[in-house]
Amino acid sequence: MQEDKLKKFREKLTEEGFKVTPQRIEVVNALVKLDHPTAKEIKQHIEDRYPMISPSTIYGTLDLLENMGELIPIQEGSETKYDLSPEVHPHFICEEDGEVRDIDDPEIESKLRELLKDCPFEADRIELNFYGKCNVE
Amino acid sequence: MQEDKLKKFREKLTEEGFKVTPQRIEVVNALVKLDHPTAKEIKQHIEDRYPMISPSTIYGTLDLLENMGELIPIQEGSETKYDLSPEVHPHFICEEDGEVRDIDDPEIESKLRELLKDCPFEADRIELNFYGKCNVE
DNA sequence: TTTTGAAAAAATAACAATTATAAATTTAAT
DNA sequence: ATTAAATTTATAATTGTTATTTTTTCAAAA
């Protein structure tokens, strides 16, 4: 299914007149593989197999994805994490270690969709975050 | 009602062994008066009547308030805005001008409180943001 | 294929918000 | 009024991100 994401991304790029580059592919790849990575983590992951990549390239690709509506940034304290699934779904953010995890609960999601309709303004996106302690150890 | 906030804050400070300083009062004052100010806007507002205040003092007080559970930061793009009302309530964030506005809708809020209970983890706070265009002009 | 022009990547440098550190000042208790 | 600890300030350092310029690469056409 990560192939799907990649294929879709390649197509969308050409479709909109952008070029398909190995760096862009690698960034999407990293986003698929890693959980909710920061720009730094994406860089690290890519450099494990691709000689090196410049931060600007990563930020540029992230911007591109965001503008395409394929990516949402999640601010966690001072870090920005990225999520390749812009579909409506809530997150749980740990106040202790800052981990972001997806909440997969159909009931909550359907309530969320309702809320999106209830919004008194024209909203095209909704963000729901729960904060608490995930008590890791 | 801003007096309430201030009084409560003074009391809580002494209660927990912190000192009541004019700078701290001014920061809370600014938070009450301004809508969803950034640290910079707070600084500006204070300096309109108080000779000058150091950024560190502002950040320090914001941290203090956050730790006291009286303040939540709202990340909007690259800016951090602050909200003195930690009660459960949703925001509408304009993707064009970045304005943050409170949504005052009892129905949405009650649904939110339900969601907080539904959360599969131990959450002590919930954050709901709608993103869209507020078409200003 | 090779050529070619535009787009993208890389290598800096620059920036802004925030955090850390050390010295001076202020609070509030005695 | 004195005093010790807390707080503010001034300053420097850090970090994540953005801007700029040069070099490289992609992909369309010859």
Report whether pLDDT(A137) > 70. Answer: no
Do B122 and B65 belong together in one domain? no
Q: What is the separation of C-alpha A71 from the centre of its chain, rounded to a whole number of angstroms?
A: 5
Report whether pLDDT(A24) > 60. Answer: yes
Q: Tell me the mean pLDDT in the region A114-126.
A: 86
A73 assigned to some structural domain: yes
Its sign, for the CA torsion B39, B41, B46, B47, is positive
Asked if the Cβ–Cβ distance from A130 to B119 is below 8 Å, we say yes
Report whether pLDDT(B136) > 60. Answer: no
The answer to whether residues B129 and A119 touch, using CB atoms and an 8 Å cutoff, is no
Is strand D in 7 Å reach of the CB of A38?
yes
Do A24 and A77 belong together in one domain? yes
Do A66 and A109 belong together in one domain? no
- The number of domains in chain A is 2
Do B45 and B97 belong together in one domain? no
Do A114 and A67 belong together in one domain? no
Report whether pLDDT(A47) > 60. Answer: yes
B68 assigned to some structural domain: yes
The size of the A-B interface in CB pairs under 8 A is 89
Asked if the Cβ–Cβ distance from B115 to A132 is below 8 Å, we say no
Q: What is the pLDDT of residue A1?
A: 59
Alpha carbons A13 and A61: distance in angstroms, whole number: 11
Is strand D in 7 Å reach of the CB of B56?
yes
The answer to whether residues B75 and A75 touch, using CB atoms and an 8 Å cutoff, is yes
B102 assigned to some structural domain: yes
Look at residue A50 and give its three-state secondary structure. coil
pLDDT above 70: percentage of residues in chain B:
96
Shortest distance between the Cα of A49 and any Cα of chain B, in A, equals 31
Is strand C in 7 Å reach of the CB of A55?
yes
Q: Which of residues 3 through 22 in chain A touch B, CB cutoff 8 A?
A: none
The pLDDT tens digits for A49-100 are 888 999 999 999 999 999 999 999 999 888 899 999 878 889 999 988 889 9
Is strand C in 7 Å reach of the CB of A23?
yes
Structural domain boundaries enclosing B99: 91-132
A137 assigned to some structural domain: no
Do B19 and B60 belong together in one domain? yes
- Judge whether B103 is closer than 8 Å to chain A, CB to CB: yes
Do B103 and B77 belong together in one domain? no
Do B70 and B108 belong together in one domain? no
Asked if the Cβ–Cβ distance from A105 to B126 is below 8 Å, we say no
- The structure's pTM equals 0.87
Name the domain boundary from A44, A63, A83.
A83
Identify which of B75, B114, B128 has the shortest CB distance to residue A128: B128
CATH (domain of B110): 3.30.1490
Report whether pLDDT(B122) > 60. Answer: yes
Q: What is the pLDDT of residue B66?
A: 94
CATH (domain of A13): 1.10.10.10
